[in-house]
Structure formats: structure tokens, C-alpha cells
Structure 1
Amino acid sequence: MTSVAIRPEKIQETVAAVLGDKVRKIQVALGEVTVTVSAADYLAAMQQLRDAPGCQFEQLVDLCGVDYSAYADEVNEGARYCVVSHLLSVSLNQRLRVKVFCADDDFPVVASVSELWNSANWYEREAFDLFGIVFDGHNDLRRILTDYGFIGHPFRKDFPLSGHVEMRYDTEQRRVVYEPVSIEPREITPRIIREDKYGGLH
């Protein structure tokens, strides 16, 4: 029998009490609780969230990176890179979002939580591949979506839309070769189909 969902305000209260001064910010929005912790406290806070009575978030269901350098068309004045995790407690029927900002924009790094939740392994590799966020303590941190020779991190806001290099298979050399991008960048404007073009809709 599934337990009744706990009110977000109660989850907020419990998480704040468990984490104490590790909490940088905690809020309820749209029925969901989001807590922000510092990079220095991240691993210890995540372990508490997994193990503490009243929390018991035994599953990490998602983890991703975010580049806040131009978030919502605004210039961000805080840290650029953030790691966002979504935790689930099956036993208590509650969810929590955890945010941690990387202290250094030039070399973003946070602790890996793959030892706490096995599911974090590939999520952290994806965030490393696409954003360049390094997860300290990860036992196999390598690219997972792009090719091994790929240059850069394509989800960073300053990554060029056309990329840096293109690859193809060379039949003479019998291997994959990398070359500078040959496609000229262009602005693509979507066509707009107007109602009056077809005599209007009634």
C-alpha cells in the first residue's frame, strides 16, 4: 500500500533540520522542494539526505548540469555552473531537488555521488561530457555521448552552434578523420504558415 504523499512544507522543514548550516537556500515552488548546498558540503549533505530518518532518499532519479551564464536571457552574477539532482524516497513517498553551484567557473568541480547512488554514474558522465563539470571521485569519468576525440563541451552557452570540427570515414586511410568545419554558419528562420494563406480557418 502506497503511503500518503508528505506536504512540501513538511519536507522543507525536515530537510532544513537534517542539513542544518549546510543549507544555503531552501524553498517550495510549484509544490516541489529545492535545497541549495555549497560544493564543500555537497557530498556530506547528500549522504545525510540518503540516510537520515525523515529523509531516506534511497533513489537518485536524475542529475544534470546547468550553465547559468545567460540564463533566461539575463546575465548571471553568481557562479556559472550548477549540478541539479532529483531524489526520491520510495519508502516515504517524497521527492527533493538538490542544487550545488561549482565554486570555480574556469574549472568547475564537485564531488561525485556515484558511491552513494549507482545511478549517478552515467548522469555525471553526461554532465562532464556536455558541460565540462568534473566529478571528483568518479571512478570512470569519460565522455558518454560525444566521440572520444571531441573538442569542447556542447551544452555550454558559449559553444559555437556549428562546432569546431567535423568527422567522416576516409576510405583510403580506413579510419575516421577529423577536419575543420566546412559548413558556413547561417541563420535559420522558420517559415510561418499564416491562416490567410489558405483562405482562413473558420
Structure 2
Amino acid sequence: MSTQLEVLQSALAQALGERVTVTVALGEVTLVVKNAADYYGVMQTLRDNAALGFDQLVDLCGVDYSTYGEGAWDGQRFAAVVHLLSVKHNWRVRVRVFAPDDEMPVVASITPLWRSSNWFEREAFDMYGIIFEGHNDLRRILTDYGFMGHPFRKDFPVSGYVEMRYDEAQKRVIYQPVTIDPRENVPRVIREENYGK
């Protein structure tokens, strides 16, 4: 482990204590927030603590762990994963928080801390159905407003439910059942008789 990672691990342990689990794999530090109620406080500490100074939110996404590890996963289903960067210290950290309820996944919004998380949280809501409590404009961002379901969930049907299209005859947008023709996709095999001789 490099000296910089050791310094970061020590600073994280000192600032966050028992609220998180810290792991290092492949030279990357991952924090798992143990209790979703502590998520906002942990994130605020990561930003405001001078020894840490994570001033940039690089990415935020949702994850559905329902079939993770080929179905061997035994934890909560939905998580929000955040990647932070400290420009001053030149280090990065990944933060993962699990929503405590699989039926209604809710975690705190961090838009008051990093305004750049706004659209990322909207995308995680739209694709996974994760609700970010305290977000002032949580609405769909990639699918249309009448869309049913959350397409990145592992249990979402591959063909979807309904599709939206403009009907020229009716001069309006209509919704209809998804029509995807099944097809076989057989790869073309090219054989050279004398290959390798």
C-alpha cells in the first residue's frame, strides 16, 4: 500500500470513526456507510474536514444488487455510489450507502453539499427508483414523464411495458405496448481450411 493511501485511510478513520467501513482494493478506497441515516453527515464530513477536503463530486449512480454474485448477495438491494475527488490532496474515494428498504429505497440527497449531484440523483431515481429525500426537483430525466417502472432494475422486463411514439394520423403522442420482433442473432463463422498449417 502506498504512503498516500495510508495517510488517506488514517484521516478517514479519524474523521468518520465507526460510521463507515473502509476497504482498500486495487489501490482504491471504498467507504460503506453502515447506517443510511448517517449518510448526509458522513458526506458533509468528507467535504468540510480539512484533513480530507473532498471538494468535487465526480459521479453518483444507483446500483441494483439483487442478482449480484450470481444471486448469492445477502444484503440490501439498492445502493447509491458516489465518487469524490480532493483536488488539494490529490486523492479519490468511493462512498456506498444502501437504502434500508428494498420496496421503497430512500437515501438523503446531497445536493446541498455538491450541486453537481442534482442530475445524477435524478438519473438514479429515474433508472432505479431510488428516492433522494430532500431533493428539490426529483423527477424523471432520461425517460418520458409517463414512463412506467425503472428500466435499470434487474426485474424490469427486457421488452419494457409501453412505448411512446408520435402518431401522424392522430397528430399526437400515443402510448402502446412495446413491439419488439424476436430475432435470432447467429454469428457468421468464417473458416479457412488451411488455417494454422
TM-score (norm 2): 0.92
List gaps (5 residues or longer) in structure 2.
Answer: none
Superposed CA offset, 1:23-46 (max 9, x none): 1x2110010100111211000000
The equivalent of 1:156 in structure 2 is: 153
State the aligned residue count. Answer: 195
Contact 1:6–1:93 (Cα < 8 Å) also in 2: no
CA contact (8 A) 1:9 1:28 kept: no
**Structure 2 residue 31 is matched with structure 1 residue 35:** yes
How far residue 191 of structure 1 moved from its aligned partner, in angstroms, is 1.1
How far residue 173 of structure 1 moved from its aligned partner, in angstroms, is 2.4
1:12: Cα distance to partner?
1.5
TM-score scaled by length of structure 1: 0.90
Name structure 1 gaps, 5 residues minimum.
none
Partner Cα distance (2:15, 2:116) in 1: 23
* Corresponding residue SS for 1:176: strand
| RMSD of equivalent CA atoms | 1.9
Q: Report whether the alignment pairs 1:110 with 2:107.
A: yes
Relative to structure 1, is the Cα distance of residues 52 and 167 closer, same or farther in structure 2, using a 3 angstrom cutoff?
same
Asked if 1:62 corresponds to 2:59, the answer is yes
Question: Which residue number corresponds to residue 169 of structure 2?
Answer: 172
How much does 1:72 deviate? Answer: 3.6
Residues of 2 paired with 1:120 and 1:6: CA distance? Answer: 30
Matching of residue 181 in structure 1 with residue 159 in structure 2: no
Tell me the equivalent position of 1:200: 195
- Counterpart-to-counterpart distance in 2, 1:39 and 1:188: 45
Work out whether residues 84 and 98 of structure 1, in 8 Å CA contact, stay in contact via their aligned partners in 2. Answer: yes
Give the letter aligned to residue 35 of structure 1.
L
What does residue 70 of structure 2 align with? 73
The runs of 4+ residues in structure 1 deviating greater than 3 Å are 186-190
Distance 1:43 1:201, change over 3 A: farther
Query: 3-state SS of the aligned residue for 2:187?
Result: coil
In 2, the alpha carbon distance for the partners of 1:67 and 1:134 equals: 14
